[in-house]
């Protein structure tokens, strides 16, 4: 096997060489649950190609739970023949032929969460089966774990068994731990997996508290499920920096498009997952997408933050608590309502800056240069921070969101997607089409080449000593990319893990 960890020079770069940027793709669970079959996967895959989602980077088509028919006499997992009449290798071949990867699901337990045969104690045989089938990705769940939880070591060993088994097959298989943040995987999963879930399951709600997701902080003895977007985001804030190229915090699959949030809420959800460097796994019915849904998933300026080569998650700089008494900043119907400001450094010396408004009415939020560059100011180097005295172009990354008309045209098959990055973003139409073809030109290359589609719209300049301000809708987000007119970035000290 060729999976050699590169740790001799300047930091580890992925234990198995995969997921150098957060993985992207689609998983059927959020929208379809157990209702899976070959047709669903292949139809979805075709639409991902047709709508340009593949070329935006959504590569893995992940089959979740309920595909199984148990094991054969010799213990080999087998697919349900009704759901997968042509077998799994056929699915893999079809996906591969479309330029997509095939994601598979199992659990580090006696059964999967839906009660099917799972892989605890069968890791080697099952990993080989997956490799034989042509699988490129494994989501590995945590149900029925036979008490093998409660301390880091027992969880580590349980998940390492599959990690070793996958590596031993010789096939590159992205390994996605779905262990719900139990026993602090952000402390130990980087050397055995490409991503780790850090909370219970998301559900299609912006901030409704649910009895089944009782924790509101990362140190949680019951991960639960039915966790809202804001619940997960707040849990993630203290641990986001634990990610690194090849090893990501997974905030769970996206609910964008599933119907129970507003368009602003979905934009917030998508934006914050992206800047947190979470895997971006679409979780809706791609074959029935609305134009609004497509235009959120297809925002290349936001995706470019997620896929930025530096691989540094944003940091929450401040969290302003809900203020029920404040006339001008109202809580929402769940008495929630925090506002927050986030920043993160990007590969080119750019910065991402995001405002989140948790309140039920629009509000104006602002951040000073001390907020934006707080990590440079407190880095300990006592060196001057040149960024403070530079002028920055402020790009609004949602300003050029694809129009409903364009999205609708794409969905209807009436729009020909460009086949290379530059032609797309330099459309001859008066209104440039904000999409991108990462197959033709990687995000790293596109950023280096200043591809317009990756930068939204310049809307302001931030002068030295100035302030960034945004009018943020209720439950909404404003995301800026800041580019220095002077160029150049300060040293970033490697964080302790």
Binders of a copy of itself in range 173-212 (CB under 8 A): 180, 183-184, 187-188, 190-191, 200-201, 203-205, 208, 211-212
Q: Where are the beta strands (DSSP E) in 373-446?
A: 392-396
| Least gap, CB of 401 to a copy of itself (angstroms) | 20
Among 39, 75, 81, 260, binds a copy of itself (CB under 8 A): 260
Q: What's the burial of 325, exposed, middle or buried (CB within 10 Å: 0-12/13-18/19+)?
A: exposed
Measured distance CA(445)–CA(467) in Å, rounded:
31
- The count of residues interacting with a copy of itself (CB under 8 A) is 101
> Judged by CB under 8 A, which stretch of 42-50, 142-150, 412-420, 475-483 contacts a copy of itself?
142-150
- Quick note: the x/- pattern for a copy of itself over 350-389, rule CB under 8 A, is ------------------------x--xxxxxxx------
Structure tokens of 172? 């590159």
Measured distance CA(130)–CA(139) in Å, rounded:
12
Q: What's the burial of 324, exposed, middle or buried (CB within 10 Å: 0-12/13-18/19+)?
A: exposed
Q: Which of 64, 201, 207, 350 is catalytic?
A: 201
Measured distance CA(467)–CA(370) in Å, rounded:
9
CB nearer to a copy of itself: give 155 or 348: 155
Quote the longest CA-to-CA distance of the chain.
71
| Least gap, CB of 165 to a copy of itself (angstroms) | 17
Measured distance CA(201)–CA(45) in Å, rounded:
24
Q: Which of 141, 204, 308, 375 is catalytic?
A: 141
Among 224, 300, 358, 476, binds a copy of itself (CB under 8 A): 224
Measured distance CA(52)–CA(35) in Å, rounded:
25
Q: Does 255 sit near a copy of itself (CB under 8 A)?
A: yes
Q: Does 241 sit near a copy of itself (CB under 8 A)?
A: yes
CB nearer to a copy of itself: give 84 or 156: 156
CB nearer to a copy of itself: give 161 or 447: 161
Structure tokens of 349? 């010396």
Measured distance CA(78)–CA(336) in Å, rounded:
47
CB nearer to a copy of itself: give 52 or 224: 224
Measured distance CA(469)–CA(367) in Å, rounded:
6
Q: Is 141 a catalytic residue?
A: yes
Among 39, 146, 164, 461, binds a copy of itself (CB under 8 A): 146
Site residues for a copy of itself, 104-123, by CB under 8 A, read 110-111, 113-117
DSSP state of 322: P
Edge-to-edge strands, sheet with 174-177? 248-250, 195-197, 174-177, 137-141, 101-107, 60-62, 24-27, 280-282
Closest-CA residue to 159 (of 128, 134, 125, 194): 194
Q: Does 285 sit near a copy of itself (CB under 8 A)?
A: yes
SS (H, E, C) 448-485: HCCCHHHCCEEEEEECCCCEEEEEECCCCEEEEEEEEC
CB nearer to a copy of itself: give 284 or 357: 284
CB nearer to a copy of itself: give 113 or 394: 113
| Least gap, CB of 170 to a copy of itself (angstroms) | 22
Q: Does 20 sit near a copy of itself (CB under 8 A)?
A: no
Among 90, 225, 349, 422, binds a copy of itself (CB under 8 A): 225
CB nearer to a copy of itself: give 23 or 241: 241
Measured distance CA(262)–CA(207) in Å, rounded:
12
Q: Does 150 sit near a copy of itself (CB under 8 A)?
A: yes
Q: Does 426 sit near a copy of itself (CB under 8 A)?
A: no
Site residues for a copy of itself, 21-40, by CB under 8 A, read 29-35
- Quick note: the x/- pattern for a copy of itself over 297-336, rule CB under 8 A, is ------------------xxx-x-----------------
| Least gap, CB of 41 to a copy of itself (angstroms) | 17
| Least gap, CB of 115 to a copy of itself (angstroms) | 3
Measured distance CA(371)–CA(232) in Å, rounded:
23
| Least gap, CB of 323 to a copy of itself (angstroms) | 13
Closest-CA residue to 451 (of 479, 478, 470, 432): 432
> Judged by CB under 8 A, which stretch of 68-76, 93-101, 355-363, 432-440 contacts a copy of itself?
68-76
Closest-CA residue to 243 (of 296, 299, 194): 194
The set of catalytic residues is: 141, 201
């Amino acid at each position: 096997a060729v999976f050699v960890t590169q740790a001799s020079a300047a930091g580890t770069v992925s234990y198995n060489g995969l997921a150098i940027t957060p993985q992207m793709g689609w998983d059927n669970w959020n929208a379809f649950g157990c209702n899976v079959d070959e047709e669903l996967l292949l139809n979805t895959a075709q639409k991902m190609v047709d709508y340009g989602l593949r070329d935006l980077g959504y590569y893995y088509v992940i089959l979740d739970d309920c595909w199984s028919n148990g094991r054969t006499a010799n213990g080999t997992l087998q697919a349900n023949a009704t759901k997968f009449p042509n077998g799994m290798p056929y699915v893999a071949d079809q996906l591969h032929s479309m330029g997509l990867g095939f994601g598979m699901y199992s659990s580090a337990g006696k059964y999967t969460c839906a009660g099917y045969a799972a892989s605890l104690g069968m890791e080697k045989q099952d990993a080989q089966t997956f490799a034989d089938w042509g699988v490129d990705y494994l989501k590995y769940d945590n149900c029925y774990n036979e008490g093998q939880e409660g301390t880091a070591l027992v969880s580590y060993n349980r998940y390492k068994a599959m990690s070793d088994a996958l590596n031993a097959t010789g096939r590159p298989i992205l390994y996605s731990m779905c262990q719900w943040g139990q026993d602090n995987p952000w402390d130990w999963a980087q050397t055995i997996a490409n991503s780790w879930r850090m909370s219970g399951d998301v559900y299609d709600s912006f901030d409704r508290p649910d009895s089944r997701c009782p924790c509101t902080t990362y140190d949680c003895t019951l991960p639960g499920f039915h966790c809202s977007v804001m619940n997960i985001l707040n849990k993630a804030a203290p641990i986001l920096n634990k990610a690194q190229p090849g090893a990501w915090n997974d905030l769970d699959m996206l609910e964008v498009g599933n119907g129970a949030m507003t368009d602003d809420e979905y934009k917030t959800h998508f934006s914050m997952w992206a800047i947190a460097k979470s895997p971006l796994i679409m979780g809706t019915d791609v074959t029935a997408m609305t134009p609004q849904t497509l235009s959120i998933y297809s925002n290349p300026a936001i995706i470019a933050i997620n896929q930025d080569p530096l691989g540094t998650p944003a940091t929450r700089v401040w969290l302003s608590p809900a203020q029920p008494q404040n006339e001008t900043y109202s809580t929402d119907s769940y008495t929630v309502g925090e506002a927050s400001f986030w920043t993160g450094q990007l590969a080119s010396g750019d910065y991402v800056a995001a405002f989140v408004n948790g309140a039920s009415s629009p509000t104006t939020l602002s951040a000073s240069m001390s907020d934006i560059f707080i990590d440079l100011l407190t880095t300990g180097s006592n060196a001057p921070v040149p960024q403070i005295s530079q002028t920055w172009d402020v790009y609004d990354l949602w300003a050029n969101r694809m129009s409903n008309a364009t999205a609708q045209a794409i969905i209807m098959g009436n729009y020909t997607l460009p086949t290379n990055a530059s032609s797309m973003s330099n459309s001859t139409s008066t209104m440039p089409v904000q999409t991108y073809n990462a197959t033709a030109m990687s995000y790293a290359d596109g950023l280096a080449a200043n591809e317009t589609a990756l930068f939204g719209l310049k809307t302001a300049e931030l002068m030295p000593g100035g302030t960034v301000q945004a009018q943020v809708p209720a439950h909404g987000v404003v995301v800026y990319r800041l580019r220095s007119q002077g160029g150049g970035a300060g040293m970033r000290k490697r964080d302790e893990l």
